Structure 1
Amino acid sequence: MISFSRLDRITRRVSIGAFSIILAVAVAVPAGAQEATGGQRFVPIRAEEYMVVSQERQASEVGRDIMRRGGNAIDAAVATAFALAVTLPRAGNLGGGGFMVVHRGDTGETVAIDARETAPAASDRDMFLNAEGEADPELSRRSGLAVGVPGTVAGLALAHERYGSGTLTFAELVAPAIALARDGFVVSADTSAALASPDTAERLLADPNVAAYYPGGAAPIGGDTLKLPVLAGTLQAIADNGPSAFYEGEIAQGIVDAVTERGGRMTLEDLGNYEAKLREPVHGTFKDYEVFSMPPPSSGGVHLVQILNTLEDQPFGTYGLNSAEMIHVMVEAMKYAYADRAHYLGDPDFVDVPVKALTSKAYAHQIAARIDMTRATPSSEIAADPGALPYESNETTHFSVVDDAGNAVSMTTTLNFSFGVGFGTAGGFLLNNELDDFSAKPGVPNAYGLIGGDANAVEPDKRPLSSMTPTILLKDGEVSLVTGSPGGSRIITTVLQVILNATVHERNIATATNAPRIHHQWLPDYIRIEEGISHDTIRLLEDMGHEVRVMDSMGSAQSIQVGAEGELYGASDPRRPGGAAVGD
């Protein structure tokens, strides 16, 4: 891949000048963009210098403006994340956590930042069981016990401290979010629809703290301008005093009060002891690409690389995108990966996760040799002692950023369920129910009728397993693709298909994003499939022995692809309206 140097890019900035293109869903046709040829129905947005792609337009604009002011991609990511905490309340957050993969253009270094929530020190492996010793989903999803110690603020501060440009202070990166909360932002139709759900509205507004966020105690509708002065005050305190303002003092006490009032065990010591962690990303290769993704306690990177390794030697040239052969071989590879996920994956600070073995080419070759291209392998034949995983909540958000110096950020954050645990703090923000991602009772069917594994059992200070898969692909040492998605257990397979569609199937990033998706997670043993797959293809899959269920859409990929001359192409997934790809 040919890439411009930083000097070349700066020269082009002077000669081309600044311009802005904003896209609600990446299907418009900007001049000079990748052409919609060869069955490619969609065209991405194009930019020359830098780009932010997120699920919410106003947050994307914040990140774009930070880079206009001289900040780098890491600065822009921090500012975008804080903005999402205001404008995308169901998933953007101060009260949750997430993962970030960062590539530095100057050194070639790629790192991972773990801002996953932790279990309070008083947690124990039986705390989600009822009096009869059975898993109680109300305890793990709606009570104070469900809330993990939030990691977002610490993770963003660490990213800025270690990898920011030095041009802008932490306070300057928080300032746009403060302005949105203080002066008001336009409520998107997507957020309005999420708030309008009777169950959501009743649950949220029953909490006095949350009801106080909204004028008159009523949820806003799309197009309204909403001001959140209490949240603005919390953000101002973080801007003025750094992350300590969140993990100590009044804001921290508000978190503890909200949690303990609902039966939780969080203390001020839990908050004061929280640390975001730098981790070595999972690294693999696929064809001509290097793949960098999130390591445990996310399972995303391990199993993304494992599946790519398993598929690498397939004759993609003879498989059409979403052909029966392509879907079949992807599904078979997915089954093995998700079976391994259930057995091996957990917080690496507590369990020994065999990352190198699971991501080795040799292991993938063993799996590939077991795949029969004429028949589906029943999941019962893949693991004799299964531990299975529930379908995790969709309510996560992802964004991708690339700047003109070759820096890139892929970040996924979450509250877990939509609007998290369903109650908030006096500080103006919602809390997560992330501890539901632990195995409620290892070895015994949980609320989904599925079995969880010991590696992901609840323990004090432990981080629950996740599927978040923020990912960066390099080609010839330079950024080629930045991608990620929400979607719970479907995140891994969503990211997989975006990568395959953009690389071996040679689709532009918008077409790669829009293509119908499939998913299999080993148990339950059926292919989940989106509308748009040919009925003939479904029949062929059923003839192979697959059970196929057409269900709701999966994921919301937010991706940036780098062209041969260093130009940027972005696509925001139309599966969740309101996203934006914003260029220089």
Structure 2
Amino acid sequence: MPVAQLVDSPAVRRLIASAAVLSLYASVSAQMTQPPPLPVVPPVKAKHAMVVSIQHDATDAGLEILQKGGNAVDAAVAVGFALAVVYPQAGNIGGGGFMLIRLNGEKGKAVETHFLDYRERAPQAATADMYLDKQGNVVPGLSTSGYKAIGVPGTVAGLVYAQSHYGKLSLAEDLAPAIRLAANGYELSEEEARALGSKNLTKFPESARVFQRGGDLYKEGQIFAQPDLAKTLTRIAVDPKDFYTGQIAQGIVKTVQKGGGLITMADLADYKVKDRAPLVGHYKGYEIITSPPPSSGGIVLLESLNILSGYDLPKLGADRSEAQTHLIVEAFRRAYMDRADYLGDPDYTDLPLKQMGDPAYAAAWRKGIDPVKPSPSDTLKRPEGFLPPPPVGFTRKEPMETTQYSVVDKQGNAVSTTYTLNGTFGCGATAEGLGFLLNNEMDDFASKPGTMNMFHLIQGPANAIAPGHRPLSSMTPTIVTKDGKLSLVLGSPGGSTIITTVANDLLSIVDNGLNVQQAADAPRFHHQYLPDEIQVEKRFDLKVVEELRAAGYKVSRSNEADEKSPGVWGDSELIMVDPKTGQLLAGHDQRKSFGKAAGY
């Protein structure tokens, strides 16, 4: 190899950059503190069935249903309703979400996959400019706090649809654990008690009454019972239509309209669950079954994986090494650019999913990736000849609470569910006398195309507010198979970081050989095109942070200025099938101390 070519080779360029970093590292690292790594624990193992969620009582609710003869869908319904009781930050009946189901074809039936979209909808009175002032500027907080931020909730319809179409037990049986937890209460951990002190709840009298005892805040070890919610859940168990056309619906509308919100009885009565076909892609011998729009997560995940399929990541370095992180970030950057321009509600917008998922398009993107240097987002040019011109009429400007659970049953049926109130405790308001919080999902629309939402995501015209539309989401429940057999169930909360968390979990397991617990606990990194920076958790290796900065990246460490903050995001609740033994292996994300995996 000629000397000039040798000097300009990726390996030598990276070596030169690393040498500069090493001389810098000692002084810089002394100015930053890095939390200790999470404890090393093995995956939870089970022979027949497994449930993993962010809250231990909810996990137990799902396991109870499985042991009673319910299938994975029954267990997922039980966990969903239970989380509405024991994890009010995001577990809900006043929000919405997605459920990805893979039925394993028992008793000679064909394998089925279903993506249940029970995302919130915009009320019929919603308008494109409802969050703008007279000058056309976004009014801060109007789409995130209070009654005007509420979309028509879909969770109850979604869970009931899942149970009635794909479950084995009755709705009342699946709801029984949640009703018991609400009526009898559950013991609060220190972290859970502290969360109930949220100022987002304090400013709404009904929320302060239900969750904060009017100012007598709950403490660790105390029992938190919710009699109003127990009555509401009992009504749903008897007649789920009550939530959309009966007394519960009347209570929702009264609360929302009293506070100046838009939801009507007609909005609730008109709500419908969408049973959509999942997106399917391939990555290094695995089949990736994932989320279609109105989730942006699935197609952004598949586009990122398509770009990365042209690299041998382990040859470049270990998991979370600078070399691997660089290429993964460049894939994220390009896929999120397409997200910003093209994605919205598929019922009202023609979306170029086939083109975005085309391996040839990924290969064209890959040609523009420098092996060692970042591609600044403002210099990116989309490969020509694949996608139509992006919608016009907006200018990009430079410038998270959801929950995930996974279930596998003894027949090999699998469910990955991600659902949400959007922000932590949603809009902060509780439906009066009904005991449940309401969402602030309207913020996931583009309040003004070209401006950022609460997760700093740029929103395009395809995601503008319109009556009956469903807002674009990052939720990415995903199921992975190999040779027709179940391999992996995954997903995460985290707003705009959801997609990258799912991608990193998958890459850590498939490419780098981490087990599910190691993948769940690995420090996270994220890039979303704009703002043009890599975000990393505080536990991310400081040496790698400095190597990335030396390569030319701006790197932001999560909550670095706050020494008390752990600087984390997301929540990976993973289940993997051991390909040799068929044993189920689960990883519960240790960032949340009160969750667990359990099986039998």
Tell me, yes or no, if structure 1 residue 273 matches structure 2 residue 270.
yes
Which residue number in structure 1 is paired with residue 58 of structure 2?
Answer: 59
Q: Is the 8 A contact 2:201 2:211 kept in 1?
A: no
Tell me, yes or no, if structure 1 residue 540 matches structure 2 residue 547.
yes
Q: Is the 8 A contact 1:421 1:432 kept in 2?
A: yes
Which residue number in structure 1 is paired with residue 116 of structure 2?
Answer: 113
Identity of aligned residues (%): 45
**1:508 to 1:327, Cα distance in 2 relative to 1, 3 A:** same
Q: Is the 8 A contact 2:201 2:425 kept in 1?
A: no
The one-letter code sitting in structure 1 at the alignment partner of 2:101 is: V
The equivalences for 1:541-580 within 5 A come to: 541-551=548-558, 552-564=567-579, 565-580=581-596
Tell me, yes or no, if structure 1 residue 477 matches structure 2 residue 476.
no
Per-residue CA deviation, residues 477-514 of structure 1 (Å, 9 max, x unaligned), is 11100011110000000000100111110111101111
Q: Is the deviation greater in 445-454 or in 86-95?
A: 445-454
Distance 1:431 1:108 in 2: 36
Q: Is the 8 A contact 2:85 2:92 kept in 1?
A: yes
Q: Is the 8 A contact 2:396 2:451 kept in 1?
A: no
The equivalences for 1:59-98 within 5 A come to: 59-98=58-97
Give the C-alpha shift of residue 196 in structure 1.
2.6
TM superposition score normalised by structure 2 = 0.86
TM superposition score normalised by structure 1 = 0.89
Per-residue CA deviation, residues 177-215 of structure 1 (Å, 9 max, x unaligned), is 111111111223332222234x23532xx3235514554
Which residue number in structure 1 is paired with residue 562 of structure 2?
Answer: none
Distance 1:227 1:185 in 2: 7
Q: Is the 8 A contact 2:196 2:212 kept in 1?
A: no
Q: Is the 8 A contact 2:196 2:211 kept in 1?
A: no
Distance 1:450 1:132 in 2: 23
**1:164 to 1:337, Cα distance in 2 relative to 1, 3 A:** same
Gaps of 5+ in 2: 1-38, 383-391, 559-566
The equivalences for 1:427-466 within 5 A come to: 427-443=434-450, 451-466=458-473
Which residue number in structure 1 is paired with residue 200 of structure 2?
Answer: 200
Q: Is the 8 A contact 2:457 2:496 kept in 1?
A: no
The one-letter code sitting in structure 1 at the alignment partner of 2:116 is: I
The equivalent position to 1:395 in structure 2, one of 373, 387, 401, is 401
The equivalences for 1:142-541 within 5 A come to: 142-165=145-168, 168-197=169-198, 199-203=199-203, 206-208=204-206, 210-212=208-210, 214-215=212-213, 217-242=215-240, 244-319=241-316, 320-382=318-380, 394-426=400-432, 427-443=434-450, 451-541=458-548
The one-letter code sitting in structure 2 at the alignment partner of 1:350 is: Y
Per-residue CA deviation, residues 300-332 of structure 1 (Å, 9 max, x unaligned), is 111111101110121123121111110000110
The one-letter code sitting in structure 2 at the alignment partner of 1:147 is: I
Distance 2:82 2:429 in 1: 20
**1:534 to 1:231, Cα distance in 2 relative to 1, 3 A:** closer
Q: Is the 8 A contact 2:201 2:428 kept in 1?
A: no
The one-letter code sitting in structure 1 at the alignment partner of 2:259 is: R
Distance 1:389 1:94 in 2: 35
Give the number of equivalent residue pairs: 538
**1:498 to 1:334, Cα distance in 2 relative to 1, 3 A:** same
The one-letter code sitting in structure 2 at the alignment partner of 1:499 is: L
Per-residue CA deviation, residues 525-557 of structure 1 (Å, 9 max, x unaligned), is 111012333333222212221111111212111
Give the C-alpha shift of residue 449 in structure 1.
8.2
**1:401 to 1:449, Cα distance in 2 relative to 1, 3 A:** closer
Q: Is the 8 A contact 1:387 1:451 kept in 2?
A: no
Distance 2:370 2:213 in 1: 60
Give the C-alpha shift of residue 162 in structure 1.
1.4
Which residue number in structure 2 is paired with residue 25 of structure 1?
Answer: none
Give the C-alpha shift of residue 216 in structure 1.
5.0
Distance 1:140 1:74 in 2: 33
* CA root-mean-square deviation: 2.0
Distance 1:496 1:388 in 2: 25
Distance 1:538 1:208 in 2: 45
Gaps of 5+ in 1: 1-39
Q: Is the deviation greater in 63-72 or in 207-216?
A: 207-216
The one-letter code sitting in structure 2 at the alignment partner of 1:267 is: T
**1:158 to 1:324, Cα distance in 2 relative to 1, 3 A:** same
The one-letter code sitting in structure 2 at the alignment partner of 1:471 is: T
Distance 2:455 2:45 in 1: 43
Q: Is the 8 A contact 2:208 2:214 kept in 1?
A: no
* 3-state secondary structure, aligned to 1:141: coil
**1:246 to 1:448, Cα distance in 2 relative to 1, 3 A:** closer
Distance 1:448 1:327 in 2: 22
Q: Is the 8 A contact 1:194 1:200 kept in 2?
A: no
Q: Is the 8 A contact 1:54 1:558 kept in 2?
A: yes
Give the C-alpha shift of residue 452 in structure 1.
2.8
Give the C-alpha shift of residue 137 in structure 1.
2.6
The one-letter code sitting in structure 2 at the alignment partner of 1:339 is: M
